[in-house]
Structure 1
Amino acid sequence: MRINLRGLNRTKKTLADGTVKIFWYAWKGGPPLSGQPGEPEFIASYNAAVARKVITPAGVLLSILQGFQASSDWDDLADRTRRDYVKLIKVIEKDFGDMPLSALADQRARGEFMEWRDKRAKSSRRQADYGWQVLARILSWAQGRGLIARNPCEKGGRLYRGTRADNVWTDDDEASFLARAPAHLHLPLLIGLWTGQRQGDILALTWMQYDGAHIRLRQSKTGRRVVIKVGAPLKAALDPVRQKEGQILLNSDGAAWTPDGFRSSWRKACAASGVVGVTFNDLRGTAVTRLALSGCEVPEIATITGHSMRDVNAILDAHYLHRDQRLGDSAITKLENRTKSPN
């Protein structure tokens, strides 16, 4: 049976691998829908959006939250980022959805939002900061379009002060993982270490993006295009399983990974391999570190990983290299050589 859902709106976005994905909204300017047309999940999310539209008063924060999710700014976000944002937007909607937009211009609004962040920080400071960041971004979007006069969440600072300074994969970590983890997880590790790319972009890689010498991709988060020469160890792992098309990375059933499925399998493999204190995301910083320790200059590293040169410097300065003993040993060796050389 065919059901006609009135007012549906759709947008198209080209993903990093070149495929085109369609995103559906309840109406133009309305909230995004879950699932695909014809599926029960899709119809349920449409009905929920319509019901909420009927009872939503004008001039409240909820209208800004919905407007942002129907904007081009929202479409430009990576899939994983959108999913994370949706979870936080639901929390914001529950706590502040009925707040009048006129109240945002009041000086006390900032204090109210900070109290909300402090309350969330009792469970997780990192999540409290992320919620603040999402709210600040949405309000900035609204301010830029003249929907509100002031963004009370601008420049709110951070509560979470954690660092991943010591969270770099060591050679022993790599060896232990390759020795004990399932074989279908070896290739993701090597690609992470030899390309320095994000998990989402690595999982999305297709064989069409590998020509036998280079991997080419457009980063989903930044839109940057990077071309990476494939190092010998990675090439030795890729070439024996190379195909003409399809995803490069597959699960144990020979199917493309889902993000949740990969994260779950990766955690279990690390635990079974005795690899603790590091995550898949740490492979990106590890790649930067190893490139620097190999004598690569900042522009060279940035070209490979897609970071800005400022971000590469920040990673090397604030998070990784000042903890690596090899740099200290190298510095003393250089000083010894200088001392021995004639004036």
Structure 2
Amino acid sequence: MIEGVHFVRKRLADGVNRWYVYAWRGGPVVMSADGRKPSLTTEALERIAIARRDRDAARKPAPTTLQTLIEKWQDGPEWSVLARNTQKTWGSSVRAIQAKWGKVPLAVFNDTRMIEKVVDWRNERRETPRAADIGVTVLQALLKYGVQCGLLKINVADKIGKIYINGQRAEIVWTKEDLAAFEKAAGDKDRVVFEAVLFCSVTGLRREDLARVTWSAVGEYAIVKEAAKISRGRRHIAAIPRIPQLDDVLDLLERRYRAPGVDTVLVNSNGEPWNLDTLSKEVTRIAKLAGIVHVDSGGKGGTQRKRGKHLHDVRGTFVTYLMTETDLSDAEIAGIMAWSVEEVTRIRRIYVDDTARQIALGKRIARGLAKR
């Protein structure tokens, strides 16, 4: 029985019981029948669905509020094509936006003075800087949709910067020393976690793609998989070239036990596909145990700031392999990684060019000492 459907019995003058069925208490009649209490017919179910839909539509805020735009956005394809994990992450920010501005008229967001209001909102949440930045990102996407639909003329959140300093991580990569330290800290007990990090270091795949790629996607010259992340409204194909280091890792992973029916390249200790959040937490736990950090220099007073390295940062290691093991240009590497050319160039300058320069200087010093 559908919850909320209201049945009312009325005894007629001839003694017959007549039943009236309402979509809800106080709602419209959807069917009537004489005799015993009736079961809902298909036609009645359809009438209930239509009546409740119309009721819910009437309860929605006026079509001039931000709440209405949120509902329109989440009912549309722009929201549905987002990865499930993105919807989950953005969901809390949507609720925060609803609480802050849900009843505000859309016309207010056509006023450039709202830029300052959005910056103030971001700053009010600076105690959780990453959440504050995600909130602005979600608001940007929402207002962009409003402009696209012709409901807004401008996007007041479009140019607002980020405050989460750890979010600027393009230059952070895992070194060979980091990988060795992680392997030691993982030991035999957490070997599968090390294998996940190792696989990431030779593919550069995002976490969602890393955990879901199957053996059927592994080709002779590349791993080809539809990417989990949506970029510019499209789900792109992730094509990862098979470098020699990847071949070695694939040979290692192929020997790992898998539960019946499991075809993912990576599996956990039970032979099952990894849960995404569990994989991230395990990598962070072991990296912290191993003391794997990135050191920023040049802070106030010449101080150094340490930041823990995450699974996502392992992608940069693959970039350094492409730079040193192939003749690919920065633009071609950027295309593989879906990064900007500037990000790739920065990694080349820090981890490849500077390293080569230091080695050359070392050789010159050694030659000078030998001549003495």
TM-score, normalised relative to structure 2: 0.67
Q: Which residue in the other structure is 1:326 paired with?
A: 355
For residue 296 of structure 1, the aligned residue among 308, 316, 327 is 327
Q: Given residue 228 of structure 1, which amino acid in structure 2 is its aligned partner?
A: P
Q: Which residue in the other structure is 1:258 paired with?
A: 275
Q: Does 1:315 align with 2:332?
A: no
For residue 287 of structure 1, the aligned residue among 305, 318, 324 is 318
Cα distance in 2 for residues equivalent to 1:285 and 1:4: 53
Cα distance in 2 for residues equivalent to 1:71 and 1:331: 57
Q: Does 1:193 align with 2:221?
A: no
For residue 145 of structure 1, the aligned residue among 130, 143, 149 is 149
For residue 228 of structure 1, the aligned residue among 241, 253, 262 is 241
Cα distance in 2 for residues equivalent to 1:151 and 1:189: 39
Q: Which runs of 5+ in 1 are unaligned?
A: 7-46, 337-343
Q: Which residue in the other structure is 1:273 paired with?
A: 290
Report the count of equivalent residues: 288
SS for the counterpart of 1:176 is helix
Q: Does 1:155 align with 2:172?
A: no
CA-CA distance at 1:58 after TM superposition: 3.4
* Equivalent residues of 1:288, 1:301 under 8 A apart: yes
* Equivalent residues of 1:289, 1:321 under 8 A apart: no
* Higher gyration radius (CA): 2
CA-CA distance at 1:178 after TM superposition: 2.0
Cα distance in 1 for residues equivalent to 2:119 and 2:57: 27
Task: Classify 1:300/1:242 alpha carbon distance in 2 versus 1 (closer, same or farther; 3 Å).
Answer: farther
CA-CA distance at 1:113 after TM superposition: 1.7
Task: Classify 1:159/1:184 alpha carbon distance in 2 versus 1 (closer, same or farther; 3 Å).
Answer: closer
Task: Classify 1:111/1:260 alpha carbon distance in 2 versus 1 (closer, same or farther; 3 Å).
Answer: same
CA-CA distance at 1:82 after TM superposition: 1.5
Q: Given residue 213 of structure 2, which amino acid in structure 1 is its aligned partner?
A: L
Q: Which residue in the other structure is 1:92 paired with?
A: 97
Task: Classify 1:193/1:119 alpha carbon distance in 2 versus 1 (closer, same or farther; 3 Å).
Answer: same
* Equivalent residues of 1:207, 1:242 under 8 A apart: no
SS for the counterpart of 1:154 is coil
Task: Classify 1:113/1:52 alpha carbon distance in 2 versus 1 (closer, same or farther; 3 Å).
Answer: farther
Alignment of 1:1-343 (within 5 A): 3=2, 54=59, 56-121=61-126, 123-162=127-166, 163-164=168-169, 167-181=172-186, 182-211=190-219, 214-221=222-229, 222=231, 223-225=235-237, 226-229=239-242, 231=244, 232-241=247-256, 246-276=263-293, 277-294=308-325, 296-298=327-329, 299-302=331-334, 305-307=336-338, 311=340, 313-319=341-347, 321-322=349-350, 325-329=354-358, 332=361
Structure with higher strand content: 2
**What is the alpha-carbon root mean square deviation over aligned residues?**
3.2
Of structures 1 and 2, the one with the larger relative CO (CA 8 A, separation 6+) is: 1
CA-CA distance at 1:69 after TM superposition: 1.2
Task: Classify 1:189/1:229 alpha carbon distance in 2 versus 1 (closer, same or farther; 3 Å).
Answer: same
- Please, which moves more after superposition, 314-323 or 277-286? 314-323
Q: Given residue 90 of structure 1, which amino acid in structure 2 is its aligned partner?
A: R
CA-CA distance at 1:161 after TM superposition: 4.8
SS for the counterpart of 1:218 is strand
Q: Given residue 358 of structure 2, which amino acid in structure 1 is its aligned partner?
A: D
Task: Classify 1:285/1:116 alpha carbon distance in 2 versus 1 (closer, same or farther; 3 Å).
Answer: same
Cα distance in 1 for residues equivalent to 2:99 and 2:346: 37
Task: Classify 1:227/1:55 alpha carbon distance in 2 versus 1 (closer, same or farther; 3 Å).
Answer: closer
- Please, which moves more after superposition, 69-78 or 153-162? 153-162
- Please, which moves more after superposition, 102-111 or 50-59? 50-59
SS for the counterpart of 1:248 is coil
Cα distance in 2 for residues equivalent to 1:124 and 1:105: 28
CA-CA distance at 1:295 after TM superposition: 5.2
Q: Which runs of 5+ in 2 are unaligned?
A: 6-51, 294-307, 366-372
CA-CA distance at 1:259 after TM superposition: 1.4
* Equivalent residues of 1:285, 1:315 under 8 A apart: no
Cα distance in 1 for residues equivalent to 2:4 and 2:200: 43
Q: Given residue 136 of structure 1, which amino acid in structure 2 is its aligned partner?
A: Q
Q: Given residue 83 of structure 1, which amino acid in structure 2 is its aligned partner?
A: K
Q: What does the per-residue CA deviation read over 1:151-199, in whole Å, with 9 as the maximum and x for residues that have no partner?
A: 2223223334554366321111111222331111132112101111101
Runs ≥4 residues deviating over 4 A = 2-6, 50-53, 242-245, 330-336
* Equivalent residues of 1:136, 1:153 under 8 A apart: yes
* Equivalent residues of 1:165, 1:320 under 8 A apart: no
- Please, which moves more after superposition, 227-236 or 50-59? 50-59
TM-score, normalised relative to structure 1: 0.73
